[in-house]
């Protein structure tokens, strides 16, 4: 059992390394112990991508807590989308995310089954809907809904029970690498999302476990002393509740709801010195409305990334 040290009010608190528990369970297949799992349930989470239409409805969601405020305003005011749409590539990405979430949640439930470490509740088909109340004006409060991936009651090494929100994400190679090195911070959209869920659940902690979409069996990490280890495709982080950040999320939702039109909200992002839009703008469903003179063009990417790969050498004595 591996433990990770997190800070609780200036004191060390040793908590289970959830990501390693999941990785170990995946690496050691055996008979399922929890009857919550079913092939039908996993299949439903995949097939819904063939019939579920994701469109701008005007409704705000807690999953958008870290989204651009102007993007939220376009959505809230039922603006017709004009930007990056939902196509086959998007659907495939959603399917990968759904499958990943379901498998990792199932593996975690199995890893904790029959142990004294803790348990997972309200996951998979049992997810619950939560609401954040946002005061708009005297006598009027908006309720923003969301669905956390799960809820955990986990024992620390000192046997102190911790109530925590569980969130599962699949990440790009770049995003996962940044997450492993730096962790999530207030400027990351996922950080805002888990803060909103913690607020709704009254939880002091959340655990976000991420999977690299481009993970390879031969990926390695080399340390300064020359030693190396295979890179795990999973990484997790304990995140503490941040009331000031939650207040900023409420303020953002309130400003969107009180707005008369999206354009009255200043753009929080913009092009670089060469006039090129980057993330999150170029992935937005409304970027052609936000930037009316935006034009798409093709440009060769010269970004190169060195990779550390595990190689096998046999030497001269294997003839």
Domains in the chain: boundaries: 3-270
| 3-270: CATH topology | Lambda Exonuclease; Chain A (3.90.320)
Residue 189 pLDDT greater than 90, yes or no:
yes
Residue 314 pLDDT greater than 80, yes or no:
no
pLDDT for 174 equals: 86
pLDDT for 300 equals: 76
* Averaged confidence pLDDT in the chain: 89
Averaged pLDDT for residues 225-240: 91
Q: Residue 74 in contact with residue 289, Cβ under 8 Å?
A: yes
* Helix 39-47 vs helix 88-112: crossing angle, to nearest 10: 160
Residue 196 pLDDT greater than 60, yes or no:
yes
More reliable by pLDDT, 194 or 319: 194
Residue-wise pLDDT for 244-262, tens only, equals 999 999 999 999 999 999 9
Phi-psi region of 195 (alpha: psi -120 to 50; beta: other; left: phi over 0): alpha
Strand 140-146 to 11-16 pairing: unpaired
More reliable by pLDDT, 157 or 263: 263
Averaged pLDDT for residues 203-220: 89
Distance CA 169, CA 214 (A): 13
Residue 303 pLDDT greater than 70, yes or no:
no
């Amino acid at each position: 059992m591996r433990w990770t040290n997190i800070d609780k009010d200036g004191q060390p608190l040793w908590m289970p390394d959830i990501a390693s528990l999941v990785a170990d369970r995946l690496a050691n297949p055996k008979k399922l112990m929890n009857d919550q799992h079913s092939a039908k349930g996993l299949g439903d989470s995949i097939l819904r991508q063939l019939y579920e239409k994701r469109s701008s409805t005007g409704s705000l969601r807690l999953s958008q807590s870290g989204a651009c405020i102007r993007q939220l305003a376009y959505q809230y005011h039922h603006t017709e989308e004009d930007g990056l749409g939902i196509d086959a590539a998007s659907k495939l990405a959603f399917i990968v995310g759904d499958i990943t979430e379901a498998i990792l949640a199932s593996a975690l439930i199995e890893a904790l089954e029959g142990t004294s470490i803790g348990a997972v509740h309200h996951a998979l088909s049992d997810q619950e809907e939560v609401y954040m109340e946002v005061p708009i004006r005297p006598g009027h409060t908006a309720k923003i809904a969301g669905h956390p991936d799960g809820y955990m009651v986990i024992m620390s090494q000192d046997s102190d029970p911790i109530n925590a929100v569980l969130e599962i994400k699949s990440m790009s190679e770049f995003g996962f690498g940044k997450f492993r090195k730096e962790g999530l911070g207030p400027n990351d959209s996922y950080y805002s999302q888990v803060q909103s869920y913690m607020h709704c659940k009254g939880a002091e902690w959340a655990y976000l476990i991420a999977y690299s979409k481009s993970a390879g069996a031969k990926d390695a990490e080399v340390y300064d002393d020359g030693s190396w280890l295979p890179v795990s495709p999973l990484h997790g982080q304990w995140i503490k509740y941040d009331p000031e950040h939650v207040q900023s999320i409420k303020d953002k939702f309130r400003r969107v709801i009180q707005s008369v039109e999206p354009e009255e909200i200043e753009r929080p992002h913009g092009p670089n010195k060469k006039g090129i839009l980057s993330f999150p703008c170029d992935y937005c469903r409304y970027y052609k409305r936000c930037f009316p003179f935006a034009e798409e063009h093709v440009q060769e990417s010269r970004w190169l990334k060195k990779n550390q790969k595990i190689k096998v050498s046999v030497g001269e004595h294997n003839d």
